[in-house]
Amino acid sequence: MSDAEITPIVPREGWHVMHLFYHVDHAQWSLYGDDEKRQAKTRLTELVQEIRATPDTHLLVFSVTTPKADLGFMLLGPDLQMLNAFEKQISLSLGPEILSPAYSYLSQTEGSEYTTTREQYSAETLIGEKGMTEGSAEFEAALVEFDERMAHYLKHRLYPVLPGWPVICFYPMSKRRSGEDNWYSLSYEERRKLMAGHARVGRKYSGKILQLITGSTGLDEFEWGVTLLAKDTFDIKAIVYEMRFDEVSARYAEFGDFYIGLQLPLDVLFRRICL
């Protein structure tokens, strides 16, 4: 059976997301001659170009800033079969013994179950807070504006186009299920109220932080992957610190390791990781 005959694995909504982190074996790399090194870097460069030219497929490439890893990739696209093939090619692109996995994470883009619905916005905001009359021209215009804003928001959550901002932060997280601090024992309304407060903190960093939350329940060891893009590490530190005081994080969040990377052009990246 050829690759073309393999059935694509495409979710009903959203895209698959892979975060891939590698160590570079510089001892093996030093055994390459100059021509072999040029050919290896050309292979990876051409693979990056191929992936980025694939419809609905996005690839971020970055230098990891600590010895947790050397090189990182964030790969997004609809078909898990195709992403899996690209992932295998990436791992061998510089040669069979040069890149070794340091960490990886699989998740999917998703909407939020706590996103305000049209009905909630009508009752709670337009009528309850702003005192509008249902059916009035002002009320209907506000609903149209809400529908457009939410359609844009959902499209970004499910099918994101991520900017080339230099700083990328990734960490996995889950909601705690321990004693009285069991997120899943709370009612939907309690969880929705808590998440609304959490979201207000995040909105303060609009224009400074682009945040993508991807779901990984049943796909990897935590329940979500969090990707933050920024122009300044100060903003990464600030938003994570401030959110730690929010009850959603203070009582109910469990975090994995944090990975910080720097998006760079490939020629600069090769020099940065000493290839």
Q: Are 263 and 60 within 8 A, CB to CB? A: yes
Q: What is the Cα–Cα distance from 174 to 109, expressed in whole angstroms?
A: 16
201 class by beta-carbon count within 10 Å (0-12 exposed, 13-18 middle, 19+ buried): middle
Can you say whether residue 63 is alpha, beta or left, with left for phi > 0 and alpha for psi between -120 and 50 degrees? beta
Q: How far is CA 1 from the centre of its chain?
A: 33
Pairing, β 224-230 against β 167-175: antiparallel
Is 171 annotated as catalytic? Answer: yes
Q: Is residue 157 helix, strand or coil?
A: helix
Which is catalytic among the residues 22, 103, 105, 171?
171
Q: Are 58 and 83 within 8 A, CB to CB? A: no
Active site residues: 171
